[in-house]
Amino acid sequence: MITRCYLEITNICNLDCIFCPKTERVKRTLTPEEFDRLTERLRGEVKFLYFHLMGEPFLHKHLPHFIAVAREKGFIPVLTTNGTLLDKAQAVIEAAPHKVQISLHSHEGNAKDNLEGYVDSVMRFTKEAAARGVVVVLRLWNQGGYDSTNERLVDLVAQHLPRPWSERYYGWRLTDNVYLEYDRMFEWPDSNGQEYACEEAFCYALRNQIGVLCDGTVVPCCLDHNGDIPLGNLFEQSLDEILSSPRAKAMYDGFTRHEAVEPLCRRCGYMAVTKRFRK
């Protein structure tokens, strides 16, 4: 079973983060019928269903319905958001996703003003969602990059959930169901970008994660933002057929040998620089 599938319900976003690679693909949003077809193909094959790859999922008017459908089909639904649309997210809380990850670094990544108002909105949502049993992870994935407001931002969060907090490996546990998580900023893989020298290349792509773009294209991981490694189309094929394709098998076997066979993988800063994947 695939642990995580990143199902892109829309590739449209309301922000223009300086660290985001964007996508050159045609703007598209899944219909409820398309979501049902794709999740039928994924049913029983995937554990956690992340409603994100590119795009802002809270822009989708059917998001609460999608969460409910995902739960009915046995998935554990997870959302990743920039946190700017949470004032209108009551129906999402009621739909009860398992976890919501809020990228706090998106605020500075857009040179936004009114940090206080942003944090107030995020924390109103966070406290209500956590009280309903939803896990909320506040993310600052910008260490060594656009992080000049981090100290002020964390102080503002502490006004809503006062310290002391319990320290964890990547951050803190603030209270029941609420976490603050740090990580290094990384370079997204780009087909025209720098190729890294990586003697021990390894990634969990196709082992415990895949991505499905909003046109049904299956890609190996959540960082293939332009669909540079298309393995098949879930509207037209079963997941087993796609993962058994020669290209998918070559990629899987390559990582077994600690070799990145795809050019995009050899340009992945997340694998080569942050060294998050080791086996």
- Is residue 20 classed as helix, strand or coil in its secondary structure? coil
Q: How far apart are CA 51 and CA 57, in angstroms?
A: 6
Q: How far apart are CA 131 and CA 178, in angstroms?
A: 10
Tell me the sheet residues that pair with 202.
Answer: none
Q: Per-residue pLDDT tens for 102-118?
A: 999 888 767 677 899 99
What single string gives the DSSP state of each residue in 31-73?
A: -HHHHHHHHHHHTTTEEEEE--SSS-GGG-TTHHHHHHHHHHT
Instruction: Please classify residue 55 by burial: count the beta carbons closer than 10 Å to its beta carbon, then call 0-12 exposed, 13-18 middle and 19+ buried.
Output: buried
Whether 138 contacts 179, CB under 8 Å? yes
Q: What is the dihedral of CA 74, 78, 84, 88, to 10 degrees?
A: 30
pTM: 0.93
Of these ranges, 2-6, 87-91, 111-115, 263-267, the one predicted with the greatest mean pLDDT is 2-6
In the predicted model, is pLDDT for residue 76 greater than 90?
A: yes
Q: Which of 68-77, 96-105, 169-178, 182-191 has the lowest mean pLDDT?
A: 182-191
pLDDT averaged over the chain? 92
Q: What is the pLDDT of residue 274?
A: 47
Distance between first and last Cα of the chain? 19
% of residues, the chain, pLDDT over 90? 76
Q: Which of 49-53, 186-190, 249-253 has the lowest mean pLDDT?
A: 186-190
Q: Per-residue pLDDT tens for 127-146?
A: 999 999 999 999 998 887 77
Q: What is the pLDDT of residue 279?
A: 46
Q: Which residues contact 131 (CB under 8 A, 6 or more apart)?
A: none
